[in-house]
Amino acid sequence: MTTASQKPDAHIYRMELGPRSYDIHIQPGCLDDVGAAVRRLFPEASRCLVVSNEVVAPLYLDRVRESLKGAGWEAHACILPDGERYKTVDTWSRILDALMEARLTRREPVLALGGGVVGDMAGFAAACYRRGVPYVQIPTTLLAQVDSSVGGKTAVNHPHGKNMIGAFWQPKLVWIDPEVLRTLPQRELRAGLAEAVKYGLIRDAGFFRFAEEQADALLNLDADAMSRLIYESCRHKAEIVMADETEQGMRALLNLGHTFGHAIEAMTHYQAWLHGEAVALGTRMAARLSERLGHAPEGTETRIVALYRRLGLPVDIPAFPADAWLDAMGHDKKNISDAIRFVLMRSIGDAFIADDVPEEDVRELIASY
């Protein structure tokens, strides 16, 4: 654990959203300072609820509660089962039960200590309890640090689709300690890298080259490489959210690979692939579709797949009937009317939204695998 005197300088990015603005604080070793940080935000509050899961809580809950206690907080806890398959209304309702039992007021915060599933459900509970209470993101997975903790999307899954029930509810603070990644399973780390690489594919070819050049350093959790990856990912996410907070336009670019990826997750009942792995597979399919429709140059898919292989991500597309693919994608919340919305690429670093891809082309793409 890093001591206060050894702690590197913080990298802070400000999400500017008027009265909903907040800081994204990135600093190795900052987990033990979260109590004081939350106290500065809510100087008159006394209670809070920490939402975590059965994997993260044994590792970090005591440290967070000790930090909160030192800053004068009465910290209650709600521990959830771990895994995407538990991202349901029933599990979410357990957070509401804990909030009721803790009797939090409208000015007392929820703290989400965990990965994307914990963050999404805790944020959605905060959005609904007493018609909205504040919450703080303390992401402990790379995927959550580079993506899901930033931007205010909260939700639970439904049998008919991923994240179909939710709300836009911005946190009051995102508190990122990259050192917690040292306890992250290697598979989870790789899945998070897939979400980070996505920003390079969408809007920053230089960032994609950085991932290519630093792949080994990132897998080894090199401090400098990882800090840059997290900061640049948060910056890209924040810039897009500030331009389109509720996904009326360009924010949909962040869904590169997600239309196919969410279908993969749904068809495998959220048990075969981690979210980042499904996004990697979906991005490969989006790249091939971009090439086949004449938008992206030949070799785009090959270069992306080469990086995914270096990062240890899956690249083999699962086999399902075309009708199953189309049905799963038809339930995706990003679709407009009955059309299936895709994010495609003109090149690495230049993505765009396509609402008019013919079904025949999608069927031919699926058959090509």
Which pair of structure tokens corresponds to residue 135? 């919450």
Q: Which residues participate in catalysis according to the annotation?
A: 131, 153, 195, 237, 247, 251, 255, 258, 262, 275
How many whole angstroms separate alpha carbon 25 and alpha carbon 333?
30
How large is the greatest C-alpha to C-alpha distance in the chain, in angstroms? 61
Which DSSP letter does residue 350 get?
E
Torsion over CA of 35, 37, 42 and 48, rounded to 10 degrees? -30
CB 97 within 8 A of CB 125: no
Instruction: Transcribe 207-270 into DSSP letters.
Output: HHHHHHHTHHHHHTT-HHHHHHHHHHHHHHHHHHHHH-TT-SSGGGGGGTTHHHHHHHHHHTTT
Which pair of structure tokens corresponds to residue 149? 């903790």
Three-class secondary structure assignment of 58-74: HHHHHHHHHHHHHCCCE
How many whole angstroms separate alpha carbon 284 and alpha carbon 272?
18
Helix axes 275-292, 258-267, angle to 10 degrees: 130
CA distances for 249 relative to 255, 300, 340, 343, 354, angstroms: 12, 25, 15, 12, 11
How many whole angstroms separate alpha carbon 164 and alpha carbon 157?
6
Burial classification of residue 298, based on how many CB atoms lie within 10 Å of its CB (0-12 exposed, 13-18 middle, 19 or more buried): exposed
In 3D space, the residue among 283, 265, 221, 252 whose CA is nearest the CA of residue 116 turns out to be 265
For 274, the 3-state DSSP assignment is coil
**Residue 337 CB neighbour total at 10 angstroms:** 6
How many whole angstroms separate alpha carbon 220 and alpha carbon 226?
9
163 residue type, one letter: N
